[in-house]
Structure 1
Amino acid sequence: MTDRIAVAKTYKLYLGGAFPRSESGRTYEVTDARGKFLANAAQASRKDVRDAVAAARKAFPGWSGATAYNRGQVLYRVAEMLQGRREQFVAEVAASEGLPAKRAQSTVDTAIDRWVWYAGWTDKIATVLGSTNPVAGPYFCFTVPEPTGVVGVLAPQQSALLGLVSVLAPVLAGGNTAVVLASQDRPLPAVTLSEVLATSDLPGGVANILTGRTGELAPWLATHADVNALDLCGSPESQRADLERGAANTVKRVLPAPAGEPEWTNPPDIRRLRGYLEAKTVWHPMGT
């Protein structure tokens, strides 16, 4: 008898709560840290970026209009499901990043804890980042944080899960919706995360995850007029100036890419939450 040939898995995109194939029909091979074939991933196109932005925009009113408590509960549920698929994430992180088993386990545990940390912020954002302002006159003046809108996220290229969670969770916790370009060479943890999101309580379209060539897709995301903010964390260094100029043409908030790969195991930073929030100040006359 001959050895059985394994059936190679071909993953799809995650758009609007569904798993469509790329509009272009293209795929590319995903390998582990040693170059061994793992699976085929969908190679998204410009049309897929537009569809993802449209899905995120459609989902924004419902997600941003939900109570902070409700958003927190939904994100906690995602963390529960991450925990339930822990072993799969450990295997994929170990293969993608070439980590030993114990370090991969630690990375996955940190990613789950980080998701919980941001979930816990949903009903505290207004208290910490809002304010009541002293004014000279018979007015109440207060400032409240509001979500920016649709956020384009270029996920870190090296940290396929922990880095992804560190940039996606604060976007969702603040009431924004997201279009994520996953790590180009290490997309499998992002694909598995999309399966978790699809089977959780997160409404379709709140998070959309694309796989493919970051250098090809990033300019379309940066120049899209219906994207309100852009995280350049995982952008190719040679493109960053052009992406910032493209974002400026449509007056986006831009979170610049860090110098070098961040140490994602460091404690999370509330500044990522603040980066995707607008400050709305209201004046109200007293006695009316």
Structure 2
Amino acid sequence: MTQPNNDGDARPQAKSGAARPTKRTTARKAAPAAPARRGGGRQASASRTETVVTKGVSADALPTSPAAPPRVGMASRLAALAPSARLSVRKTYKLYIGGAFPRSESGRTYPVVDAEGAFVANVARASRKDVRDAVVAAAKAFGGWAARTPYNRGQILYRVAEMLEGRRAQFADELGGPRADAEAAVDAAVDRWVFYAGWADKYAQVVGATNPVAGPYLNLSTPEPTGVVAVLAPPAAPLLGLVSVVAPVIATGNTCVVLASSEHPLAAVTLAEVLATSDLPGGVVNVLTGQAAELGSWLASHEEVRGIDLTGADAEQAAEWEALAAANLKRVRRPDPAEDFTADPPLSRLTTFTETKTVWHPVGI
């Protein structure tokens, strides 16, 4: 029996009590997943081909590439070319004037020996003409160096300490003596440079002052550099003593001509090499090597030299050169036989070669 549905078509009706057929869904068995392919198709094919070729073949039967010849290192080749006994390049220690390293105009040198009397090096022996050249270079550099800010001078001095630290081993070799003592002296010299680098922009606040005056004025006093200073390095401490007398002179804006110790000049010339690569303008420090008895009087009597530090002079030389310095009113620092360079330096090292400038200014204007 058929009965029309709501849509108007006829469909058979199930009898009462009969089970209505249901739609059966059959799940298809999933196929096994293909193994992941690494790389492109060509690479996979190449791998299969390689497997086929090498399958069942002994490893000993496979062809091998010929062994590469052993490579000879550069050091081995140079050793084969070098002569059996090489002559080292001996260093001649020159002067340092105006940022350059000239030989003495006289062409003279003198030998330096160690504590056992063995030859170490030849050192230039400066003359009176070299003294004049060094003073001219220092006077020329004074204006620019004094015009720099104290902070900038301190930065340059700190750079000197950095470069000095990098040559620690070389300075220790040149100082000689027990290795531990030499290295301790170099470390103390580096620390002394850092000490004065820090003082460069601070000493004016300590030394300068605002002065009370009876009147409507503001009175200020401030230190200024003197000019060209001659420095005689102490022979007792070839490096630490040299640094202790040179660093305060240039930290305050002066330029200097240094007469190194004739017995121990090597550290002074190597220090000049450090200064030449430390942003210090040429002419600020000039280093002469030679005999103090020959050159000291010319430094003391030179009109362009405004001050002289006699730390490295003996008592007789100091008296003679102080009298020569008095002729043109130089500032003089006398030698102190009891001075200990390993101790903290006195403030007078900074103030000896400075002059005090006093300014009066009306209040309210």
TM interval, short-chain normalised: over 0.9
**What amino acid maps onto 1:47 in structure 2?**
K
Aligned to 2:356: 279
Residue 8 of structure 1 contacts residue 40 of structure 1 at CA under 8 Å; is this kept in 2?
no
Superimposed CA distance per residue, residues 194-235 of structure 1 (whole angstroms, 9 cap, x where no aligned partner): 000011100000000000011100000000000000000011
Aligned match for 2:161, one of 71, 79, 99: 79
User: In the alignment, does 2:320 pair up with 1:242?
Assistant: yes
CA offset at residue 3 of structure 1?
6.0
Q: 1:49 aligns with which of 108, 112, 131?
A: 131
Structure whose CA Rg is larger: 2
Which one of the candidate residues 186, 198, 206 is aligned to 1:128?
Answer: 206
The answer on 1:22 being equivalent to 2:100 is no
- The aligned counterpart of 1:141 is 219
Letter in structure 1 aligned against 2:315: E
Q: Which residue is 2:291 aligned to?
A: 213
For 1:117-137, what per-residue CA distance to the aligned partner results, in whole angstroms no more than 9, with x for missing partners? Answer: 001001101110000000000
Q: CA deviation at 1:237?
A: 2.8
Q: Secondary structure at the match of 1:184?
A: coil
Whole-Å Cα distance in 2 between the matches of residues 4 and 237 of structure 1?
48
Supply the distance in 1 between the matched residues of 2:136 and 2:329 (Cα, whole angstroms): 18
1:9 CA drift (Å): 2.2
Aligned length: 283
Map 1:113-192 → 2, pairs under 5 A = 113-192=191-270
Q: Which residue of 1 aligns with 2:39?
A: none
* Distance in 1 between residues matched to 2:240 and 2:164, nearest whole Å: 12
Structure 1 counterpart of 2:115: 33
Give the TM-score, by structure 2 length: 0.76
| Residues 83-98 of structure 1 mapped to structure 2, 5 A cutoff | 83-93=165-175, 95=176
Gaps (5+ residues) in structure 1? none
Tell me which amino acid in the other structure corresponds to 1:182.
A
- In structure 2, runs of 5+ residues without a counterpart are 1-82
Deviation string 1:37-60 (CA, Å, 9 cap, x unpaired) is 111000000000010000000000
Task: Give the CA deviation at 1:5.
Answer: 5.4
CA distance, structure 2, for counterparts of residue 37 and residue 196 of structure 1: 24
Give the SS at the match of 1:228.
Answer: strand
Instruction: Assess if the C-alpha contact under 8 Å between 1:215 and 1:236 holds in 2.
Output: no
Distance 2:220 2:115 in 1: 52
SS in 2 for 1:140: strand
Distance 2:182 2:88 in 1: 25
2:79 aligned partner: none
- Aligned counterparts of 2:253 and 2:103: Cα–Cα separation in 1: 28
CA distance in structure 2 between the partners assigned to 1:20 and 1:67 by the alignment: 30
TM-score by length of 1: 0.95
Cα deviation, 1:58-108, whole Å, max 9, x if unaligned, reads 000000000011000010000000001111111111x2xxx3111111111
Cα separation, 2, equivalents of 1:14 and 1:57: 15
What's the C-alpha RMSD, in Å, of the aligned pairs? 1.3
Aligned residue type for 2:350:
L
Q: Which of 261, 266, 277 is the matching residue for 1:199?
A: 277
The alignment-based identity, stated in percent, is 61
Give runs of ≥4 in structure 1 deviating > 2 Å.
Answer: 1-9
CA distance in structure 2 between the partners assigned to 1:188 and 1:118 by the alignment: 23
**Would you say 1:255 and 2:333 are equivalent positions?**
yes
Q: Tell me the CA shift for residue 259 of structure 1.
A: 2.6
Aligned-partner Cα distance in 1 for 2:270–2:295: 21
The answer as to whether partners of 1:141 and 1:281 remain within 8 angstroms in 2 is yes
Separation (CA, whole Å) in 2 of partners of 1:235 and 1:67 = 33
Tell me the distance in 1 between the aligned counterparts of 2:360 and 2:313: 40
